[in-house]
């Protein structure tokens, strides 16, 4: 089982309104949040997963719970809070790239505290953390305490997934990510994340610094330009993107992340030692699998992550 930690929310996508009235705005709401998506994506790819998260007892929170139940994500690590569900207002640009505005202060997915942390049994093979739960309190310090406790004991994967709307203080992001990269074994980061965190700095130089700590492998996603691999053992190289008709890119990064973990699990390499055994050829195969999965998500509207059998057909 893989334990994914962080936010669960609803994305509200604006839709065109034929009436043309400024007083009327149509929205389509879809369950999401980066960690939520990764947990669901893992199940769709055939990997047992659980979500460590705070869920609201309000209507939307119960809908999030129902989605997790329907998808088969384990409920053992969920906590109920009498606080609202976070809302993310999403506008999609002409190139399919999403722009977010969050309504999350005081919401349920931020309420996890250190006393809510569970003891983990041997069935939990690894942890994944990422997105704004890394920097909003009290969950940020809770997840840091969890990662510090578990680093070196089981595989830790990290996706910064920087979102400045929930927390605009970029120095806070830099400080927290600098701490977490010293504890993680596998890092997935987008070129957008690095440009926000370290503008005008060479991504390869930043990533080389990360590889001086625990981290063995960093995957840099570049949207339509594919992904770059940075391995402590095997050096760096690029993997091309798949050419698809893009509906939007919402959930593509989460799909990529889930596919990395799913591939490692399928190969029996979802451990610290397993990651260290990867040859260059196996890393390349893993990244190509993740690129394929992310491309399929891009053909769909919203975070509609693929099922394992859909990737076998392509």
| Any domain includes 239 | yes
Q: Which domain holds residue 240?
A: 2-13+29-306
| Any domain includes 255 | yes
pLDDT of residue 303: 84
pTM for this prediction: 0.93
Q: Are 206 and 178 contacting, i.e. CB atoms less than 8 angstroms apart?
A: no
212: domain CATH number is: 3.40.1190.20
Taking the CA atoms of 102, 136, 229 and 4 in sequence, report the sign of the dihedral they define: negative
Strand, helix or coil for residue 220? strand
The percent of residues in the chain predicted with pLDDT above 90, rounded, is: 82
Query: Sheet harboring 9-15: ordered strands across?
Result: 26-32, 9-15, 87-92, 98-103
Instruction: Express each pLDDT in 264-277 by its tens digit.
Output: 999 999 999 999 99
Tally of domains within the chain: 1
| Any domain includes 23 | no
What is the C-alpha to C-alpha distance for residues 201 and 180, in angstroms, rounded to an integer?
20
Do β-strands 126-130 and 2-5 pair in parallel, antiparallel, or remain unpaired?
parallel
Instruction: Express each pLDDT in 80-109 by its tens digit.
Output: 999 999 998 877 665 666 677 888 999 999
Closest by Cα among 144, 140, 146 to 117: 146
State how far Cα 172 lies from the chain centre. Answer: 19
| Any domain includes 313 | no
pLDDT of residue 314: 47
Instruction: Express each pLDDT in 23-82 by its tens digit.
Output: 777 888 899 999 999 999 999 999 999 999 999 999 999 999 999 999 999 999 999 999
Q: Which residues pair with 238 in a beta bridge?
A: 228
């Amino acid at each position: 089982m893989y334990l994914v930690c962080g936010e669960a929310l609803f994305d509200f996508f604006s839709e065109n309104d034929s009436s043309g009235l400024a007083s009327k705005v149509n929205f389509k709401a879809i369950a999401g949040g980066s960690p939520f998506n990764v947990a669901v994506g893992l199940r769709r790819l055939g990997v047992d997963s659980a979500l460590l998260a705070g869920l609201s007892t309000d209507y939307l929170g119960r809908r999030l719970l129902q989605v997790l139940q329907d998808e088969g994500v384990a409920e053992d690590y969920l906590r109920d809070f009498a606080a609202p569900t976070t809302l993310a207002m999403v506008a999609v640009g002409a190139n399919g790239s999403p722009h977010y505005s969050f309504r999350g202060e005081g919401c349920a997915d931020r309420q996890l505290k250190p006393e809510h942390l569970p003891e983990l049994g041997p069935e939990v093979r690894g942890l994944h953390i990422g997105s704004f739960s890394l920097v909003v309190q009290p969950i940020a310090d809770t997840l840091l305490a969890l990662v510090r406790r578990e680093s070196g004991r089981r595989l830790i994967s990290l996706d910064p997934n920087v979102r400045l709307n929930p927390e605009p203080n970029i120095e806070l992001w830099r400080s927290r990510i600098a701490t977490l990269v010293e504890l993680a074994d596998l890092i997935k980061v987008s070129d957008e994340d690095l440009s926000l965190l370290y503008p005008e700095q060479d991504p390869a130089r930043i990533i080389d610094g990360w590889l001086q700590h625990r981290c063995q492998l960093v995957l840099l996603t570049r949207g339509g330009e594919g992904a770059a691999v940075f391995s402590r053992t095997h050096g760096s190289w690029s993997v091309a993107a798949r050419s698809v008709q893009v509906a939007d890119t919402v959930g593509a990064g989460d799909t990529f992340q889930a596919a990395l973990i799913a591939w490692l699990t399928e190969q029996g390499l979802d451990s610290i030692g397993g990651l260290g055994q990867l040859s260059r050829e196996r890393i390349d195969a893993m990244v190509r699998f993740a690129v394929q999965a992310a491309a399929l998500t891009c053909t769909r509207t919203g975070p509609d992550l693929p099922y394992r059998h859909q990737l076998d057909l392509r």
